Amino acid sequence: MGADRPVGPGKTLLRLRTYARPHAARLLVLLFSAAAAQALQIVGPLLTQRLIDGPVRHRTTDGLWVLAGLALLAALLIQVSDYIGRRAHATGSVGIETALRTDLYGHMQRLSLSFHERWQSGQLLSRATSDLRAVGSFLAFGSVFIVLQTVTYLGVSIVLISIYWPLGLLVTAGVLPVMVLTYGLSRSYLPLSRRLQDEVGDLTSLVEESVLGFRTIRAFGRHRYLNEKFAEAAGQVKRTGLAQGMVIARYWPAIEAVPGFLLGATLLGGAHAVANGAMTVGELVAFVGLLTFAIWPLDSLGWLLGEAQQAATAAQRVYEILDAEPGIVDRTPTEQLDVRGHLRFEDVSFRYPTEKDPVLQHVDLDVRPGETLALAGVSGSGKTTLTLLVDRLHDVSGGRITLDGVDIRDLPLETLRTHVSAAFEDPTLFSASVRENITLGRPDATDEEVAAALRIAQAEFAYDLPWGLDTRIGEKGLSLSGGQRQRLALARAVVGRPRVLVLDDPLSALDVETEALVEKALRTVLTGTTALLVVHRPSTVVLADRVALLDGGTIAAVGTHEELLATVPAYRNVLDATPQEVPR
């Protein structure tokens, strides 16, 4: 899985500046306070030098207390600036991460169904959690410290050069081997970092799948198989993590050795300089003291670059989602429409983006306002796909669908989905109250409308739940039976009397008695509503005015149930009402 045009990790990091910009002031505060703290720390060795060259050498307490007082003041100021910097960082990093997270979530919701069918949700999840964390913390912390360490290093170098330039230059040149080493580090580390993140994403997917498919795993007693599969994936993560660790073990010690060599050279050169009178002893002590401040920026460069690289590859992963086109969006300009409910399919074809063969071809259908058209056909003939097109959960690949003469792609999505209401084969309920679940598409529905919908769907059991319609259902709430869920999903579809109803086998999980009651109630709704109804059973077909028989993605026949029964043998095979005696 990757973007069409892979953008370099460095460039990806730069793209994030739009998220950093609102926090620019805070990041500047962080930078300045960190720089101040750093500078104040350098004051320490300078004070030491003064102390040794002044009071100590002259054997006098004059100025001793002033110097000590200054050192204490510096200590206090460091603390204050560190505190200020950390406060700024707290708000900044959290702000950036949260903004990215809400944007990513919002975008994922907009991405089309075909995207979600293709992408494992575990991968999406890991991007919205662990990758964002890496990005957020780097933006608000690592990036600032890379700047700060560079500045510190330059600053210390200047001071060192001003104390004794030959040694100062030598120390400054120490950055060269460090740069060579970090370049080597990046080359091995970057691909591993990306691979590890991808593998963690896969692991997340596996966890999610095994949690959601728990009952199936249990039913077949396949926990051992799943454990093995998980151990394999976790082992892959382990191996990549280990490889990453080995790269670090190769480069970090080398990078960290550079300052040690610099220290040795400084001692040797400094001693000679002192012998030649080019430096005082105090200057040498201060020089060595200051050098330790240059060590930390050098040392930490390897680590900081590691963070930067992790953030860069994580950002790539995040942008792969953010860059994905939602596909199904409002066209401009959109048309407004007073919907009557005349639904037409004109030479419609549909093909999944990843597949070669079309699922639907040359579908022509005309559903007049108020008419109910049933879709029949064997499994895999394209019925469900057809229903997904009306709501624009998928867009047609060819031809067009019109509502009252207007191509549905020219209608605002909001309008289209307000007027077209659907119940899918899998009744999805959210962790929310019954009322909220029913009024999902119509938050303004009145209590009467909700009551009417519940009555039609024979879902009045909802009133008897522990807290009535306020009872929380869904995964985080009360669990309901399949039939109950399906009835609530049906209530959700019919609430507020939509102009167009799309029902995919809406009664499959109901027992015979309930089914009969729902059918009766549904009939009253369907008389005034344009409806597309996927049917598997003769009992449901009677709700329809006409039936279209789908076969291999094309419309094989259209007519009334009786006509088709009489004239189309294929139809008889699919929907014969007379209970056939199964041959013994």
Partner 1 sequence: MTTTDWHGVAAEEIDDVPDDAGLRLRRRSRKLLGSLVRPYRRSIGVASLLLIVQNVSGLAGPYLISVGIDAGLPPLIDRGDSSVIVTVAAALVVATVVESLSRHVYLRFSARITNGILFDLRRRAFAHLQRLSPAFHERYTSGRVISRLTSDVDSLADMLDGSLDDLVIQSLNVLVIGVVLLVLDWRMGLLALLAFPFLWLIIRWFRKESGPAYRRTREAVASVIVHIVETLGGIRAVQAFRREPRNNVLFGRLAGDLAAADAKVLRLMAVFVPGVFGVSTGATAVILAAGGWLAVHGQLQVGVLAAILLYVRRFFDPMMQLSMFYNSLQSATAALEKISGVLEEEPDVAPPARPVPLPVRAGRGRSIALENVTFGYREGRTILPELDLTIPAGQTVALLGATGAGKTTIARLIGRFYDPLAGHVRLDGVDLTDVDEDALRAAIVTVTQENFLFGGTVAENIVFGRPGASPAQVEAAAVQVGADRMIRELPLGFATPVGQRGSRLSAGQRQLVAFSRAVLADPDVLILDEATSSLDIPSERAVQRALRTLLADRTAVIIAHRLSTVEIADRVLVLDAGRIVEDGPPAELLATGGRYAALRELSGR
Q: Scan residues 173-202 and list those touching partner 1 (CB under 8 A).
A: 200
Which region among 144-152, 339-347, 403-411, 568-576 touches partner 1 (by CB under 8 A)? Answer: 568-576
Helix (H, G, I), strand (E, B) or coil at 3: coil
Q: Tokens for 7?
A: 């953008």
Q: Both tokens of residue 543?
A: 């709700």
Distances (CA, A) of 388 to 177, 269, 482, 517, 556: 60, 79, 22, 27, 20
Q: How far apart are CA 342 and CA 214, in angstroms?
A: 44
How many chain residues touch partner 1 (CB under 8 A)? Answer: 183
Task: Return the residue of 13, 16, 124, 367 that touches partner 1, per CB under 8 A.
Answer: 124
Provide, rounded to whole angstroms, the least separation between the CB of residue 63 and partner 1.
Answer: 9
What CA–CA distance (Å, rounded) separates 139 from 311? 8
**Is residue 329 part of the contact set for partner 1 (CB under 8 A)?**
no
Sequence length of the chain is 584
Min CB(11)–partner 1 separation in Å? 26
Asked if 510 interacts with partner 1 (CB under 8 A), we say yes
Nearer to partner 1, 128 or 365 (CB): 128
User: Taking CB under 8 A as the rule, which mask of x and - marks residues 270-289 in contact with partner 1?
Assistant: -xx-xx-----x--xx--xx
Q: Which is nearer to partner 1, 24 or 90 (CB)?
A: 90
CB nearer to partner 1: give 11 or 105.
Answer: 105
Asked if 164 touches partner 1 (CB under 8 A), the answer is: no
261 forms part of the interface with partner 1 (CB under 8 A) = yes
Query: Which residues 420-439 are close enough to bind partner 1 by CB under 8 A?
Result: 421-422, 424-426, 428, 430-431
At its nearest, how many Å lie between partner 1 and the CB of residue 528? 21
What is the distance between the alpha carbons of residues 405 and 362, in angstroms, rounded to a whole number? 18
Told to check if 226 binds partner 1 by CB under 8 A, we report: yes
**Residue 505 is a binding residue for partner 1 (CB under 8 A):** yes
Query: Of residues 38, 157, 205, 372, which one binds partner 1 by CB under 8 A?
Result: 205
CB of 364 to partner 1, least distance (A): 22
Smallest separation (angstroms) from partner 1 to the CB of 568: 14
Q: Which of 508, 521, 545, 556 lies at the binding interface for partner 1 (CB under 8 A)? A: 508
Instruction: Say how far apart CA 293 and CA 289 lie, in whole Å.
Output: 7
Rounded to an integer, what distance in angstroms lies between the CA atom of residue 351 and that of residue 569? Answer: 28
Convert residues 467-486 into a mask of x (bound to partner 1 by CB under 8 A) and - (unbound). Answer: -------xxx--x-xxxx--
* Phi, psi for residue 351 in degrees, rounded to 5: -140, 135
Nearer to partner 1, 383 or 561 (CB): 383
Long-range contacts of 160-164 (CB under 8 A, 24+ apart): 160/287, 160/290, 160/291, 160/294, 163/279, 163/283, 163/286, 163/287, 163/290, 164/270, 164/273, 164/278, 164/279, 164/283, 164/287
Q: Show the CA angle centred on residue 15, arms to residues 13 and 16, nearest 5°.
A: 70
Site stretch for partner 1 (CB under 8 A), options 19-27, 121-129, 180-188, 339-347: 121-129
341 binds partner 1 (CB under 8 A): no
460 lines the binding site for partner 1 (CB under 8 A):
no
**Minimum separation from the CB atom of position 144 to partner 1 (A):** 14
Cα–Cα distance list, 386 to 348, 365, 550, 554 (Å): 9, 11, 10, 10
Which residue lies nearer to partner 1 by CB, 7 or 82? 82
**Does 419 engage in binding with partner 1 (CB under 8 A)?**
no
Q: Which of 24, 25, 158, 516 binds partner 1 (CB under 8 A)?
A: 516
Binding flag, residue 514, partner 1 (CB under 8 A): yes
**What is d(CA 163, CA 335) in angstroms, rounded to the nearest whole number?**
75
Contact flag: residue 509 with partner 1 (CB under 8 A):
yes
Omega before 259 within 30 of 0, i.e. cis: no
One of 10, 22, 166, 245 touching partner 1 (CB under 8 A): 245
Interface stretch with partner 1, choices 174-182, 330-338, 399-407, 534-542 (CB under 8 A): 534-542
Longest dimension (CA), the chain: 121
DSSP string, 168-179: HHHHHHTHHHHH
By CB under 8 A, residue 520 contacts partner 1? no
Q: Which value, in Å, is the radius of gyration of the alpha carbons in the chain?
A: 35
State which residue, 289 or 399, has the beta carbon closest to partner 1: 289
Out of 16, 31, 314, 440, the only residue in the binding site for partner 1 (CB under 8 A) is 440
C-alpha 78/C-alpha 33 separation (Å) is 9
Helix (H) or strand (E) holding 400: strand 398-403
Query: From CA 480, how far away is CA 489, in angstroms rounded?
Result: 12
- Determine if 244 is a binding residue for partner 1 (CB under 8 A): yes
- How far is the C-alpha of 363 from the C-alpha of 57, rounded, in Å? 99
222 binds partner 1 (CB under 8 A): yes
Q: Which is nearer to partner 1, 9 or 269 (CB)?
A: 269
Compare residues 117 and 325 and give the one whose CB is closer to partner 1: 117
